[in-house]
Structure 1
Amino acid sequence: MTLPQEIDLNGVRVYQGALDRYAQVSLLEDVRAILRAAPLVRHVTPSGKPMSVRMSAAGDFGWVTDRSGYRYQRHHPSGTPWPPIPASLLILWNKYSKSDRAPECCLVNWYAPDAKMGLHQDNDEADLAQPVLSISLGDDARFRVGGTERSDPTRSIWLSSGDIAVLGGAGRLAYHGVDKLRAGSSSLMPNGGRINLTLRVVT
């Protein structure tokens, strides 16, 4: 079995090739089950701007944004509880996160070919010593990571389907984002696009 290649990107650990094709296909089925219970939503920022990435979640909490602000909440915008985090994702968390706590949220981000995510910090969690684990499925995405100040220099890497990134330690509060997708670079999903799964401890 080929071991994933580990890369340090401004304190963020990237494991290239962590999931083989079989694991990616299996995980995609788990994601589809999540989305049947909690359909994707296009949130708006507090200023009213629609996000280009559509989102859902699993676990005790999901992250949402609207005119009221950014926050975690215990139910889908429809009012239904979030579905549980699949066992397949808990296994990956235990293997890669180096955390002694279980994740309370798995965000599901769907990127259409023209979607992107601006530089931001993941800092809405109560315990910032706990890592964020990110899993890529589908088309390649150019992942940009800076420092703890928005003005810090950034470095970029193309994340491919099956790659895992861990924001922990020095990289936990690094500004990061996705600049663009390489449309058609993966055959995992027939219609293309990218799914990004991020596991985190909320409380």
Structure 2
Amino acid sequence: METTENKGVKARIVSAAWQLFHDKGYDHTTVDDIIELSGTSKGSFYYYFNTKDELLSTLSTVLDDYYEELHVDMDKEMNNYDKLLYLNYKVHSMIEERISIDLLASLYSTQLIAKGQRHLLDQNRVYYRLISGIIEDGQKKGQIRQDKSISEITKYYSLCERALISDWCLSRGDYSLGEYSKAYMPIMMEHFKA
């Protein structure tokens, strides 16, 4: 079982790795670079990861950490439908700023052919629990339609997010993912607004 301290070390390694992947590129980032930026040791790195490649599957962790930050900072009085749009805009803006489009496209393509766990689709992720909770609360408050189940709306919401990211990757980032999402996610989700 991981202690809070161990989770902190692992989180620092993952955070440092993704910062370096963005700043230097994946191929130019070394394990030593990650260790130095994270302020950890070689032993700590190899306790959690056998290779740098294993860090690629941690994108869902990076995204979930950001979703948790946003959830804490989000206005609790905001309409739940608006919370969904807010989260989408903020996360897509963060992806655009902090994650290399080439690496993101590569990760999405590996998820398509992965034989094992598809980390981005893991229903136990913070992402899915958060979105489902917002939708459930929105339905209780009459802000989100109740004629579709929470799981159906959550699935559609995540499908829309992936569609926006996929198109942005296919377009080689020739437009702002955050701004495009801000403009089109409301149109995609309008059907579910009460």
TM-score, normalised to structure 1, is 0.28
Structure with more helix by fraction? 2
* Structure number with larger C-alpha Rg: 2
**TM-score of the two chains, using structure 2 as the length reference:** 0.29
Query: Which structure has more strand as a fraction of its residues?
Result: 1
